[in-house]
Structure 1
Amino acid sequence: MAARSYGQYCGVVRALELVGERWALLIVRDLLVGPRRYSDLKSGLSRIPTNILSDRLKDLQAAGLVHRVPVARCGLVYELTPYGRELEDVILALGRWGFKAMTGPREGEEVTADSLTMALRTAFDPAASRRVPATVFTLHVGDVTLVARSDAGRLDVVAPSRGPVPVATPMGDGDRLEFAAAPGIRDLIAGTVTPADAVASGAAEVLDGDVRLLERFAALFHLDAAVAA
């Protein structure tokens, strides 16, 4: 199925032949959040041409990474196969590595529900979660709203506005905090900005709940900051 051959007998080469084409890994990233209809994938990857999205989905299906399954009230959706889900650790590791090269958003760059969900999963520290009580965070970044529940080393994230495609929903009791943040939330996650400074600068605004829970949020996530020059 590969559009190109690198002419080498190597596992890295085979991986690139399967998911190295442009947009392929971002489709996998979004499907790691949950099953998606074609329209969901197109909406989440607004710059992908429709013919490229169709081609990539066909390639991923031919490689055994994605299949189509019927879902009540949704029709057919795209879903990762068990083989495709094995890419989760790869995607999370790649996200942690790429985070070091990130600064603020460049002009025209957007934050989507799926990209922010995977960013939280990338940065989540299960050990830190086990040290604090269960907490439910409602996070607003631009037009994106997520609800994330941390409890005993586990993180569940859902976008309430997501359509009828089923996703895991955070349930249960816990302390609650609702806050809004700019895309610069990466600095809070990296620890380069304290919660107090984020609130003082307007980069974060507590909408409901104890402001001290913003410190708990920051403690639950960790990513290395920028690459040294």
Structure 2
Amino acid sequence: MAPRGHGQYCGVATAVELVGERWAILIIRDLLVGTRRYSDLKRGLPKVPTNILATRLKELQEAGVVRRVPIAKCGPAYELTDYGRALEPIILALGRWGFASMGEPADGDVVTADSLTVALRAAFRPTSAPEATYEMRVGEARLLVTVTDGRLTVADLGTAWVAEHDARSEVVIMAGPRIREVIAGTLTPADALAEGAVEVLEGDPGLLERFAATFRIDPPVAPAR
């Protein structure tokens, strides 16, 4: 990909030239969850213009970050190369850093299965993670979240794989935007339940305490607004 004219012989400048264009990081975020078709990416990024999505995908391919792959009966799709997957800890760190400034959602803001998956990865604390299986519902996103032996597995409950295996959870948690307060530690699970910020639809409400210990982000001090 042609350099974008920063005029800096610097790794940070090069990184910005490769993945710093608008929407590029969010495309990479979704591809960190798995291989996606063009239509999947468009569905997960509903506000991206189609021409911009096509341009970003082409640029990321030229940069060696993304590649096209065939999927049986589904046509071409996109996945990260090893070079692109090396961005995972950077994307997760960006998510933790941005967490401090999220505030309330604007009208039209959405939570997707992929964005929620990456958020949970960013907040996951392996050393504080007792084994559990949660079903998480935030907006239209529904995930099966499994913690086993200090490892996190997240599956989209809308996929055929999960349906075929009849996966079951110990607790079904439905949450709105204030789940971020639980993850930040500024709202206790008990208060979240009492105030209706989080609902437990099935299972033991006490498991929300386990969830809060497993998924936690202590954000840096955000700038005053």
Aligned to 1:39: 39
What is aligned with 1:185? 179
After TM superposition, the score normalised by the length of structure 1 is: 0.91
Indicate the SS of the match to 2:157: coil
* 1:21-170 equivalences in 2 (<5 Å): 21-129=21-129, 132=130, 134-162=131-159
Using the aligned pairs only, state the percent identity.
57
1:172: Cα distance to partner? 8.5
Maintained 8 Å contact 1:148/1:170: no
Which residue of the partner structure matches residue 197 of structure 2?
203
For 2:17, the equivalent position in structure 1 comes to 17
Superposition deviation, residue 208 in structure 1 = 1.0
Alpha carbons of 1:3 and 1:215: their partners in 2 closer, same or farther (altered >3 Å)?
Answer: same
Q: Secondary structure at the match of 1:206?
A: strand
Compared with structure 1, are the counterparts of its residues 43 and 3 closer, same or farther at alpha carbon in structure 2 (3 Å cutoff)?
A: farther
Checking the alignment, whether the CA contact within 8 Å between 2:110 and 2:139 is kept in structure 1 is: no
Q: What does residue 227 of structure 1 align with?
A: 222
CA-based RMSD of the aligned residues comes to 2.1
Q: Whole-Å Cα distance in 2 between the matches of residues 25 and 97 of structure 1?
A: 14
Matches of 1:95 and 1:212, distance apart in 2: 27
Answer with 177-186 or 84-93: which moved more. 177-186
Q: Structure 1: where are the runs of 5+ without partners?
A: none
SS at match of 1:189: helix
CA distance in 1, matches of 2:203, 2:26: 34
Residue 5 of structure 1, CA deviation: 1.3
Identify if the C-alpha distance between structure 1 residues 97 and 47 changes in structure 2 by more than 3 Å, giving closer, same or farther.
same
* Alignment CA distance shift 1:73-1:98 (3 Å): same
CA distance in 1, matches of 2:132, 2:2: 45
Runs of 4+ in 1 over 4 A off after TM superposition: 169-173
Change (3 A) 1:7 1:31: same
Check 1:206–1:37 CA distance in 2 against 1; reply closer, same or farther (3 A cut). Answer: same
Displacement of 1:75 after TM fit?
Answer: 2.3
Residue type matched to 1:146 in 2? L
Task: Tell me the number of residue pairs that the alignment of Structure 1 and Structure 2 aligns.
Answer: 222
Q: What TM-score results when the alignment is normalised by the length of structure 2?
A: 0.92
Give unmatched runs, 5+ long, in structure 2: none
* TM-aligned CA deviation for residue 3 of structure 1: 6.1
Secondary structure at 2:191 match in 1: helix
Deviation at 1:69, TM superposition (A): 1.0
